[in-house]
A and B are shown apart, each in its own frame.
Chain A
Amino acid sequence: MLEIKGLGHRYADGHRALTGIDLGVERGELVCLVGPSGCGKSTLLRCVAGLLRPTEGTVTLDGNTVDRVPDGLAVVFQDYTRSLFPWLTVRDNVALVLRRRGLGRRERRAAAEEALAAVGLADAVRKYPWQLSGGMQQRAAIARALAYRPSLLLMDEPFGSVDAQTREDLEDLLLTVRGGEGGMTILLVTHDIDESVYVGDRVVVLTGAPGTVHTELRVDLPAPRDQIATREHPAFVALRAEVGRAVRRP
């Protein structure tokens, strides 16, 4: 579905962020990207999103070159504090992106409230983003992306600012949502090696700088994943060790 070939990017200031990235992602697959800070993960996501035109190589989606933002895309930006619109309530932030789905105003609001409830923000729907804590803002941004029901979802460090328990709940929410109808292809950037193995079908380890693909690991773990059982599964333990080694020893 998603095909990245020879992708490289050099920023206008001459900084080389990415080089020679080759990566294919199947429809419905959840691929985790891990790698040290500054290795170009966000840059890669921006290229896939069509927000940044790579200076080398191509990104194709269903055979079409990505030269603008593709349809059915949703993004959870790393900098979630500046991605919600401060002049709209949390609910209206979510409802705004649903306009494209051709829903009426009341349906949009209902869908927004449902999505916010799913991330534990049922009581904050009428608040403005700047009235929320960082973790709550981050969950609002996740709710917005999930409510949109994208076919391609890009998430940049989406669970970075929440407590461990909430983080696990959000991981499971993500796994439930992607299993739903339609099938969602997901690229998820994370710094948490355990998380990458727990939620991913595949883990791609990047190294910098400039960012390149270091290792790709398929995650073969029993299907309904479980926070306790999966994490003590021998295959899980082996995989996280392997990812850990790849991240540490470039």
Chain B
Amino acid sequence: MTGKEGVAGKEGVASEAGKVGLAGRARAVRGFVGRIWLAVLLLALWEAAARAAGDLYFPPPTEIASTARELWWSGPASRLFLSDKALDDFGPSLTHLLAGWAIAAAVGIAAGVAIGLSRVLFELLDPVLQLGRAIPPPTLIPFFLVVFGLGTEMQVATIVFGAVWPVLLNTVEGVRGVEPLYLDTARAFGFGRATRILRVVLPAAAPRTAAGLRVALGFALILMVIAELMGAGGGIGAHLNDAERGFLPTELWAGIALLGLIGYLLNGVFLLVERRLIGHHRERQD
């Protein structure tokens, strides 16, 4: 460039960041309190009702919590208090869940970009994809059982098959919806195909892809449990089966609560990561 002086002097890009940060934090705290109070109230009501009823099938939440603690969080501090049973239950479940989800993500994004970029592929495959998505994934479990037998492959395959659709279809839509001028700009400045995909198409489609990944995470959790309930050596599903056979309603409830907690945490972590990675992708917001 030339050594010419700035053309229009300094822009009014005043540092409002500090103010916004403080106000934002106060708003976040208020928002958290605003959202949490109802949950606390409901738990208290549940507790009171369960104690009053004294029904074996409906233990009060405190009892469920202490059972859960006993079952999974009575281990040594060096292991974050995780008990042996916690490792046996969470280990396989979370491994299958995350492996299945990761494979679904990789396959879904790669295929989604390929299909989204090619009009021919899209028109050819769209009906097939719509059909594939319409198959309720659990119906494939018997098939996967026949092919893979009981075990990790069958469980991961089930999760992959269910979780791949939201990623794939959202990525296809995201890629097809990329602003054409972004692509023209990339071409005009001589970006090669790989650079175009990595630097323009993927980031431009990222919000849609992320939405698909989040839905897929929820699906993955559901399918993980279903696959484990269908019969598996370990995992949280196996714990539920054992609790059912052993007629231990409190342990059943503990398993249910645990799954709810895992789903909640996975979603929360996902949202945090998403906001960090692509929070500023969104166009102008107020």
Chain A interfacial positions (CB closer than 8 Å to B): 49, 51, 69, 71, 73-75, 77, 79, 82-83, 85-88, 96-97, 99-100, 111, 114-115, 117-124, 127-128, 130-131, 136, 139, 146-148, 162-163, 165-166, 169-170, 172-173, 176-177, 180
Contact = CB atoms under 8 A, between A and B. Distances in A.
A128 B179 CA distance: 17
B184 A51 contact: yes
Interface in B255-286: 278, 280-281, 283-284
6 contacts: A75-B185, A77-B185, A97-B189, A139-B7, A166-B7, A180-B2
Contact of A86 (B4, B185, B190, B283): B283
A123 B10 contact: yes
B236 interface: no
A128 B278 CA distance: 12
A28 to B, nearest CB: 16
A153 B193 CA distance: 22
Contacts of A79: 181
A88 B186 CA distance: 14
Interface of B: 1-2, 4, 6-11, 13, 179, 181-182, 184-185, 187-191, 195, 199-200, 203-204, 206, 278, 280-281, 283-284
Given A49-B188, A121-B11, A136-B11, A85 B203 contact: yes
B188 A75 contact: yes
A63 B201 CA distance: 33
A77 B280 CA distance: 23
Given A82-B179, A82-B182, A166-B8, 16 more contacts: A51-B187, A69-B190, A74-B189, A83-B185, A85-B203, A85-B204, A86-B281, A117-B6, A118-B6, A119-B8, A123-B11, A128-B280, A147-B1, A162-B8, A172-B4, A176-B4
Given A51-B188, A123-B11, A176 B181 contact: no
A176 B5 CA distance: 12
Contacts of A127: 13
A73 B1 contact: no
Contacts of A123: 10-11, 13
Contacts of B199: 96
A118 B1 contact: yes
A120 B9 contact: yes
Given A99-B195, A146-B1, A120 B7 contact: yes
Contact of A85 (B200, B278, B284): B200
B284 A71 contact: no
3 tightest A-B contacts by CB? A120-B8, A120-B7, A169-B7
A87 B203 contact: yes
Contacts of A97: 189
Given A118-B2, A118-B4, A124 B13 contact: yes
A163 B2 CA distance: 22
Contact of B206 (A87, A117, A170, A180): A87
Nearest to A68: B187
Contacts of A136: 11
Contacts of B200: 85
Nearest to B277: A87
Contacts of B187: 51, 69
A130 B284 CA distance: 6
A177 B2 contact: yes
A64 to B, nearest CB: 15
Nearest to A143: B1
A87 B4 contact: no
A49 B181 CA distance: 13
A122 B10 contact: yes
Contacts of B10: 122-123
B189 A148 contact: yes
A139 B6 CA distance: 11
A111 B281 CA distance: 24
Contacts of A177: 1-2
A53 B68 CA distance: 67
Given A83-B185, A87-B206, A99-B195, A173 B13 contact: no
A77 B188 CA distance: 10
Contacts of B195: 99
B7 A77 contact: no
Contacts of A73: 188-190
Contacts of A75: 185, 188-189
Nearest to A72: B190
A38 to B, nearest CB: 19
B48 to A, nearest CB: 50
A118 B7 contact: yes
Nearest to B179: A82
A127 B284 CA distance: 12
Contacts of A51: 184, 187-188
Contacts of B190: 69, 71, 73, 100
